[in-house]
Structures are given as structure tokens and as C-alpha cells.
Structure 1
Amino acid sequence: MAKPAPRIFVSDALGAGGTLVLSKPHAHYLGTVLRLGEGAEVLLFNGRDGEWRGSLGRVDRKGAEVTLAERARPQTGGPDLTLLFAPLKKGPTDLVVQKGTELGVGRFVPVLTARTQADRVKTDRLAAIAIEAAEQCERLDVPVVEEACPLDEALAEIGAVMFCDEAGDDPQARWGGGAGRGAPALEALGGVAKAPRAVLIGPEGGFTAGEREALRARPDAVPVSLGPRILKAETAAIVALTLWGAALGDLR
């Protein structure tokens, strides 16, 4: 199998015969990292006009030029899916955004809970990670990364939500014991009348009793379990998105 042409996300409009001037970082990536020369094939997408096949022209330290030839794929969108997650340390948060992009998340909403470790989120950096992941995984769109906000504020704008609840109801037992935990995710999602279009992942240490009570009081909340083990928050996000995709998204 031939090595696939590199994919670049741009903000410019795309159309046949057009010539785009790429940024210095893109020129460095194409010319220095990949060592591509004039005439090399490049694929461009902007989240609106589909994916376009182009030919690399000038490439130097100042930038690079690509002349568009034809549309390789028409524009399509991914699943209508929002991930609400409590920000973690830098590495795990980056992982959540990268893998969430690969799994089809359309919108990332960092939420501040009682046990959230970080209250500041560098959305520009996370948006750059989302773009890079979209380029790599063949997506034609790039998810939005929103500013962090309190959990109750984020939930006020969300309809049905699947929230991953690994705790039980016994305050004296480790992790709340076994009683009161959510049903297995695929089982719970298979029986809902209104499919949730949002997934909520709590912080390390889980939700507080008050947060769990407020979430379970919502008529459109679907509490689920992710299995018999207590997962790290970043692992829980990947597992939850995979299960959601298998039940309701494009992994079916």
C-alpha cells in the first residue's frame, strides 16, 4: 500500500483551481519533516468544503503553496456528540481530547466539579491537539473546544446525558459499595426512550454525593457503569465514548 498523502486542516475556502498559501509551521512539516518537494500530493480540508486533493508548489521557510485540483471527498459530519469532562493534569487532558477526536466527539466542554483538579484550561492548545488528531484520523471536521465552566452551568444547556457513575450509595463503604451503581452502559443505553447526545465523565475521585444526587434527579440523565474496575478518568472517557459509539454512534 502506498504511503497516504499528508492531510492539512486550513481555514481558507477550498475550490478547484485555487492556490493556497500555507503557514510556516505547515511548510516546515511538509518540507522539513516529511521532505516533500514540488509536485507532491497534499490533501486539504476545512470542515466545510470537503477534502481536496492538491499539488505542492513552492515550499520554503516563508511558507508553502498548494494548488487545488479536485475534491477527493464531499463534506460529511460526525456524530452529534458532546463530551463533558473534568479537566485533569496536562498529559491526561491532552489524551482525552486526542482520543475523543478520534472517536467522533464534536464538542468538548471542560466542567468544574467539586473535585476537579484543574480550574484553568488552555483551550488554544487543546484545539491544536484536536486539529492534529482530526488530520491523522481522516475526519473531515474538527471538534470545538469550549472554555471551562461549572458543571451545573454546562448541564443547563445539555439535554439527555449519559453520566459515568462508578460509585454506590453507601457512604461508609469503599467507593460507595455495590448498591446504587449505574447499569452496564450498553444495557442502559439500549433501554432509553431519548438517546443521550452527551457523555459526562467525572474527576479523579468521582462525583460528590450531592453531585450524584443532582445528576440522578434529572429526568434525562442516564447513569451507567463502565465495568467492574475503577478506571482512571482518562481511561473512563475513552471507554465511555467507545460504548456510546457502539450503542448510538458510528461504531455500530
Structure 2
Amino acid sequence: MPDYDFNSPRLFVADALTAGGTVSLDATQANYLLAVMRLADGANVLAFNGRDGEWRCHIARTAKKKADLVAEERLRPQTPAPTLAYLFAPLKHARLDYMVQKAVEMGAGILQPVMTQHVQASRVNVERMRANAIEAAEQCGILSIPECREPMKFDAALQAYLPRGPFIFCDEREDAESPIETLRRLEKGPLSLMIGPEGGFSTEERTRLHAETGVTAISLGPRILRADTAAVAALAVVQAAIGDWKCVS
């Protein structure tokens, strides 16, 4: 990674970012900068909106508890959003928050909850998912907020994502062949990665997955992993074998 400013606060904003342009801050953002971070008028802040790259801005205080940002200079151009789709059986609250944040850090571009037979949580708060995705992107220098999609049933998810390109699923019953070698044999293209619930995929779901053309099963080794741990492990393996880690020099 090139030199990066890890010291300045970083915010995702909705407004366009142009040299000299003013960016409106909502009450939560203004409170974070002025009351939590205790930043003064004129202090530097990094801002991004998923369209215009990352900009160095300064705080322009408008009232005791209100402020705008004024964009000064673009530091990084906008890069294409990641095409990796991460499909997962929802977990409960805190562990789902953690999993979403880590998936964003690991380069997921689409977050797709899938309602499997053994799923733990029957409801998903998509707005909460997006809030966690934004927080992770702000903290980790990411320029695009992943798409946080509404939950889909298992069969519908396969119909929607199989045509995109290579479809990978983590199978706890798969022989422990090196996942790196398995993944390197796949064709290039937008990737979809599916991880099941704590109880694993049902027999019917595993049979369906193995029967589909274009689906590749991988093992995550000899240990049993919880779903949020499996997410980090699987995304690391995929990115190292055929993802954007291969592009890093």
C-alpha cells in the first residue's frame, strides 16, 4: 500500500466532492468531529462518497454544534468497486456486525444474506448492515461502500449469483485439499463466495450445490470454525488465490 494518512478522521459523505465545494455534515457526523474528536475549525478531515475518490477537506464550523467540510484536494482517484459477492447465512446481532465489518475489510463488494435451512437469525436489519459497512470503510481507507442487499432464499440466491461467474462455497465435509490449489484452477471473473450457518448446510443444500455447474467447494482445513471466523478465513484464501491480493506488488 502507498503512503496513507492514518491520522486524520475519515468520513463517508453523500454530497459530491469537488475542489472548493462544501459538504454538508449531519448531526451525528458533526458531533463526532466537534465533540468526540474535539477538532477545531480548519482541522483536516478525509472524505469520500464512493464516486469522486478521497479528498482532503477542512472543517468549517457554522454553529456551536454544526459544521461543514470544504474540499481542498483529491488525494486518491475513485477505483472500481470490488466485484466479490459474499453470501452468508445471517447471524445474531453482534456477531453479524463483526462479520459484516470484516467482510468489508477483506474486499467484499456485495453483502448478500441468504436464508438457509439451518439459519440462526430469521430477520436481517439491512440498514444496520450498511451502517457497519460504512464504519468499516471509513476506518480502513476503502473508497466504495459495498451493496447491502435484502435477504434471499437459498434457491433464489443460486439463481441470481450462479450466472455471474465462479461460485465458491465452504463445505465443512469437503476433503481437506489445499483450497489455494483448488481456487487457482478457476476461470477469472466476478466471484461469489457462500458460507453457511453455524449448523452447516443441510443435506439438500449441499446436494444442490454440488450438482450445479460452476460451483466449487473448498475446505477451510481440519478445524471447525464459527461462521464469523470462517468468513475471514475464506475471504483471505479467496483473495490470496484469485482475488485482488494477487494484484499487490
Q: TM-score of the superposition, structure 2-length normalised?
A: 0.92
Say which of 19, 29, 36 aligns to 1:16.
Answer: 19
Given that 2:55 and 2:76 are in contact with CA atoms closer than 8 Å, whether structure 1 keeps it comes out as yes
Pair 1:192-2:192 in alignment: no
- For residues 175-218 of structure 1, give each alpha carbon's deviation from its aligned partner in whole angstroms, at most 9, with x where no partner exists: xxxxx536332121012245560100000110111110000001
Instruction: Describe the SS at the equivalent of 1:187.
Output: helix
Indicate conservation of the 8 Å contact 2:15/2:24, yes or no.
no
136 and 59 in structure 1: CA distance in 2 versus 1, 3 angstrom threshold = farther
Tell me what 1:28 maps to. Answer: 31
CA separation of 1:221 and 1:42: change in aligned 2, threshold 3 A = same
Larger Rg belongs to: 1
Query: Aligned to 1:146, which of 139, 146, 149?
Result: 149
Partner deviation per Cα, 1:16-75 (whole Å, 9 max, x = no partner): 111122011001110111110011001110000111111111065543111111111100
SS in 1 for 2:244: coil
Alignment of 1:67-106 (within 5 A): 67-106=70-109
How far has the Cα of 1:153 moved from its partner? Answer: 0.5
Other-structure match for 2:205: 211
**In the TM superposition, what is the alpha-carbon distance from 1:230 to its structure 2 partner?**
0.9
> What residue number does 1:42 align with?
45
TM-score w.r.t. the length of structure 1 is: 0.90
CA spacing shift, 1:3–1:119, aligned 2, 3 Å: closer
What is the deviation of 1:140? 0.6
Q: How large is the Cα RMSD of the aligned pairs?
A: 1.7
Unaligned runs of 5+ in 1: 168-179
Which stretch of structure 1 is more off in the superposition, 188-197 or 86-95?
188-197
CA shift for structure 1 position 2: 8.0
CA gap of 1:16–1:91, structure 2 versus 1, over 3 A, is same
Identity %: 47
* 1:127 counterpart residue number: 130
Contact 2:31-2:65 within 8 A present in 1 as well: no
> In structure 1, how many angstroms separate the alpha carbons of the residues matched to 2:8 and 2:143?
15
Deviation at 1:103, TM superposition (A): 0.6
Runs of 4+ displaced beyond 6 Å? none
Matched residue, 1:177 = none
Q: Residues of 2 paired with 1:119 and 1:3: CA distance?
A: 38
Q: Distance in 2 between matches of 1:55 and 1:117?
A: 45
* Partner Cα distance (1:139, 1:110) in 2: 21
Which segments of 5 or more consecutive residues in structure 2 lack a partner in the other structure?
none
The counterpart of 2:196, out of the listed 196, 202, 215, is 202
Aligned partners of 2:48 and 2:143 also within 8 Å? yes
The Cα offsets for residues 115-144 of structure 1, whole Å up to 9 and x where unpaired, read as 001110000011000001000000111111
- The amino acid of 1:212's aligned partner reads R
Q: Distance in 2 between matches of 1:73 and 1:194?
A: 27
1:243 pairs with 2:249: no
Question: How many residues matched?
Answer: 240
Matched, 1:58 2:64: no
Aligned residue runs from structure 1 range 153-164, under 5 A: 153-159=156-162, 160-164=166-170
